[in-house]
């Protein structure tokens, strides 16, 4: 009888464990891989204050000083894998990437951008400015606002008078929509994989991915390895769970690949945000992420907070570096310079691999471009004085 009870107890324990695993698997599959900490706070119309004063992050990373060395040019293409973007926004329209194979006049006299033909043979019809992997169409509408906000931080082009300026106001922004609120988690992940490969195949040099989740995925990792093999830098959000990513990895930021930069977020005082993930071996550097001012759909502006915004600052500086010196078009070279040229902060000691806050001006200073070799391409933790 005693043996039967032990067998029954063991069976019940196994059953409960299997049910728990099934529930966890279901939760992981439903995870959106999208990490805003809040909805955007909107300002209707054009703001009354100068753009540089509105976005404190530009001053914090010495963007104005870096601009004296020149802005990014259109040859530097940044793929933004996000919720889409308002490509007609007055601060973004000039910098939206244009696919040369899908613009202009076709031999039959039709407009390549809207003739319903895959003119460049890349497998996507009328992808003049990017692709919506949710609807599988060239429609890039941003119903949420997150993608438009990220695009503005990276490469908004200022116009006369007040407005929003990005870190790299001369860059090309390739819009790739992977996320929709009505899309299941695994579908978002599949869309991400397709978007990464599209970016690589269509000339992007930088991929900004301000999203992610705790679910590791072989296909996503393979796509990111494909990006590495083709010299494409990937700047990824460290995540907004407020945990140590050394013990609780967040993907794609924590894949063990040499072309990935994982970015945490700080406030005006240089303190790590409570929501920002951290980790000496997993998070590389930090950038501004609290109440960041940028563009929103329908020609609006507003504020958002999180590692998503910090990631966009790093992508913008990477674009400036690539435009400034062709040697930085090698991800390993750029990564080594970026992680050794920031401003050291005591508040980051023991939490962030480089111990540094992004600095655009220092990143553009002359360097020997020596690459530090580590077991996974990440720089070791630095002591902060």
Q: Which residues are catalytic?
A: 82, 146, 308
Contact yes or no for 196/189 (Cβ under 8 A) = no
Q: Is 279 left (phi over 0), alpha (psi -120 to 50) or beta?
A: left
Q: Torsion over CA of 160, 165, 168 and 172, rounded to 10 degrees? A: -70
Length of the chain equals 385
Cβ within 8 Å of residue 141, ≥6 positions away? 84, 86, 132, 297
d(CA 315, CA 303) in angstroms, rounded, equals 19
d(CA 209, CA 285) in angstroms, rounded, equals 16
10 Å Cβ neighbour count for 338? 27
| Pairing label, strands 206-209, 233-237 | parallel
CB-side exposure of 267: number of CA atoms within 13 Å? 7
The DSSP result for 348-373, as a single string, is: GTTTBSS-EE--HHHHTS----PPPP
Q: Which residues of 92-130 are buried (b: 16+ CB within 10 A; e: fewer)?
A: beebbbebebbeeeeeeeeebbebeeebbeeebbbbbbb
Contact yes or no for 207/232 (Cβ under 8 A) = yes
Contact yes or no for 197/231 (Cβ under 8 A) = no
| Tokens coding 340 | 């050794």
């Amino acid at each position: 009888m005693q043996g039967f009870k032990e067998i029954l107890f063991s069976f019940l324990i196994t059953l409960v464990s299997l049910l728990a695993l099934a529930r966890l698997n279901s939760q992981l599959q439903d995870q959106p891989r999208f990490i805003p900490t809040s909805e955007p706070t909107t300002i209707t119309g054009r703001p009354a204050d100068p753009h540089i004063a509105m976005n404190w992050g530009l001053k914090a990373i010495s963007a104005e000083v870096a601009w004296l060395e020149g802005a990014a040019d259109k040859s530097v293409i940044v793929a933004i894998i996000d919720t889409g973007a308002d490509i007609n926004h007055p601060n973004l329209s000039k910098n939206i990437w244009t696919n040369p194979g899908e613009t202009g006049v076709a031999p039959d006299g039709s407009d390549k951008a809207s003739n319903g033909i895959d003119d460049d043979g890349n497998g996507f019809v009328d992808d003049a400015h990017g692709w919506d992997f949710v609807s599988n169409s060239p429609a890039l509408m941003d119903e949420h606002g997150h993608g438009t906000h990220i695009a503005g931080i990276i490469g908004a082009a200022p116009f006369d008078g007040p407005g929003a300026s990005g870190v790299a106001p001369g860059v090309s922004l390739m819009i790739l929509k992977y996320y929709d609120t009505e899309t299941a988690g695994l579908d978002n992940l599949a869309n991400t994989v397709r978007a990464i490969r599209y970016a690589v195949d269509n000339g992007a040099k930088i991929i900004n991915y301000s999203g992610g989740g705790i679910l590791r995925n072989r296909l996503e990792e393979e796509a990111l390895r494909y990006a590495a093999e083709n010299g494409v830098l990937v700047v990824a959000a460290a995540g907004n769970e407020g945990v140590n990513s050394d013990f609780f990895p967040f993907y794609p930021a924590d894949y063990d690949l040499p072309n990935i930069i994982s970015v945490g977020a700080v406030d005006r005082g240089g303190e790590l945000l409570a929501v920002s993930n951290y980790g000496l071996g997993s998070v590389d550097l930090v950038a501004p992420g609290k109440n960041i001012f940028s563009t929103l759909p329908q020609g609006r502006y507003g504020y958002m907070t999180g590692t998503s915004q910090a990631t966009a600052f790093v992508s913008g500086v990477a674009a400036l570096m690539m435009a400034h010196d062709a040697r930085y078009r090698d991800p390993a070279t750029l990564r080594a310079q970026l992680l050794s040229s920031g401003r050291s902060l005591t508040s980051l000691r023991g939490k962030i691999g480089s111990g540094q806050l992004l600095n655009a001006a220092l990143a553009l200073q002359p360097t020997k471009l020596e690459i530090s070799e580590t077991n996974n391409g990440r720089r070791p933790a630095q002591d902060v004085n």
